[in-house]
């Protein structure tokens, strides 16, 4: 049963539906194998809250989502849009890095490509951008291989195709990589694919992401976006502060993994907060952490539902929840 997400009896219709049984098993598989894989890489998980006062998508330049503010016993706070900052904190406890799988909350309404509540698989490690990109590739290849081994016949039955999984598992070397400037050249700077903000910084549209995926026949990293187009915490990739040490892995619907290197010092972070017009007082603890323990770290986040949407060759992410949740509607159970 696809669609009908607000049907009050949707949860009953899903019972006995073999497609959703498969989805539930895939969700469980991703969670279990995420813990197994990062344990094999010596990363350690963090038990984190779902509330924060320091959102990672602040209302400033480079933000692409809205935070979810709540009143918690008279205290204004936010539901976590990501706990990347806390994983940076975790890197001060765990030498090899930290990870989690937990819900994230966004203020936009859901659409075919976006959920307002979704599962986030994130890591943070004390290495640079390129090393973290290699870790991300190893992680998704591990998941894809396990899914092929365990679920290939059932996936083929519903989607008719498992070649995309085989393509990833059998790929030799690292996945294709282009800088944002190179991607813009490939797309001929077409405004339908590359949007230029009035401030001069550029972003790639969903149609542009799809074109890059087609160009590279399935997978591509786009790196070094304009710094003002990404959140403030991404490290500078050049002395002029024009580009960011960041990368998006595009496949399936578009961006499925967002990855970046962080500012190492308090002064760099304060400079970026000012550049992005974000109030520094909202991130006092984050700045002071870097002042006391400066450290180079990088990390990435993967939307689990986006990944599974690619696995199942599906076209609407709203179907990827067993228990649907929307910001503008009451749902049961």
Task: Spell out the residues 6+ positions from residue 185 whose beta carbon is closer than 8 angstroms to its own.
Answer: none
Q: State how far the Cα of 82 lies from the Cα of 48, in Å rounded to an integer.
A: 11
pLDDT for the residue numbered 63: 66
Low-confidence ranges of the chain (pLDDT < 50): none
Model pLDDT, residue 199: 87
- Position 147 scores a pLDDT of 98
- Give the integer Cα–Cα distance in Å for 124 and 122: 7
Q: Tell me the CA end-to-end span of the chain in Å, nearest whole number.
A: 17
Its pTM stands at: 0.96
Identify the burial level of 264 via C-beta atoms within 10 angstroms of its C-beta, where 0-12 means exposed, 13-18 middle and 19 or more buried.
middle
Pick among 3.30.1490.20, 3.30.930.10, 3.10.310.30, 3.40.50.800: CATH of 10-320: 3.30.930.10
Round to whole Å and give the CA distance between 129 and 210.
Answer: 24
Note the pLDDT of residue 58.
Answer: 78
Q: What angle do CA 130, 131, 134 make, to 5 degrees?
A: 90
Give yes or no for a contact between 147 and 155, defined as CB atoms under 8 angstroms apart.
Answer: yes
The pLDDT value recorded for residue 332 is 85
């Amino acid at each position: 049963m696809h669609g009908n997400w607000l049907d009050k009896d949707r949860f009953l219709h899903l019972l006995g539906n073999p497609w959703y049984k498969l989805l539930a098993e895939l969700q469980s598989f991703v969670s279990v194998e995420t813990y197994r894989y990062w344990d094999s890489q010596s990363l350690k998980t963090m038990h984190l809250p779902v509330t924060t006062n320091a959102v990672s998508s602040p209302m400033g330049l480079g933000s692409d989502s809205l935070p979810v503010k709540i009143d918690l016993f008279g205290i204004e706070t936010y539901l976590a849009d990501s706990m990347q900052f806390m994983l940076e904190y975790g890197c001060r406890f765990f030498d090899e890095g930290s990870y989690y799988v937990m819900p994230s909350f966004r203020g936009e309404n859901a659409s075919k490509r976006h959920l307002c509540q979704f599962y986030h698989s994130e890591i943070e490690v004390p290495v640079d951008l390129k090393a973290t990109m290699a870790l991300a590739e190893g992680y998704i290849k591990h998941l894809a291989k396990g899914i092929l081994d365990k679920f290939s016949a059932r996936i083929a039955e519903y989607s008719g195709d498992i070649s995309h999984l085989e393509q990833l598992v059998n790929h030799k070397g690292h996945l294709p990589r282009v800088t944002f400037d190179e991607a813009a050249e490939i797309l001929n700077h077409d405004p339908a694919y590359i949007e230029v903000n009035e401030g001069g910084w550029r972003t790639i549209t969903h149609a542009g992401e799809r074109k890059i995926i087609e160009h590279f026949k399935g997978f591509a990293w786009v790196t070094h976006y304009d710094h003002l187009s990404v959140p403030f915490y991404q490290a500078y990739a050049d002395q002029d502060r024009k580009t960011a040490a960041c990368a998006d892995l595009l496949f399936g619907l578009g961006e499925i993994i967002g990855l970046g290197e962080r500012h190492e010092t308090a002064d760099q972070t304060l400079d970026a907060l000012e550049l992005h017009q974000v109030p520094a007082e909202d991130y006092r603890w984050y700045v002071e952490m870097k002042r006391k323990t400066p450290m180079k770290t990088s990390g990435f986040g993967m939307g689990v539902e986006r990944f599974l949407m690619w696995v199942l060759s599906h076209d609407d992410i709203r179907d990827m929840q067993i228990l649907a949740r929307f910001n503008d509607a009451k749902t049961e159970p």
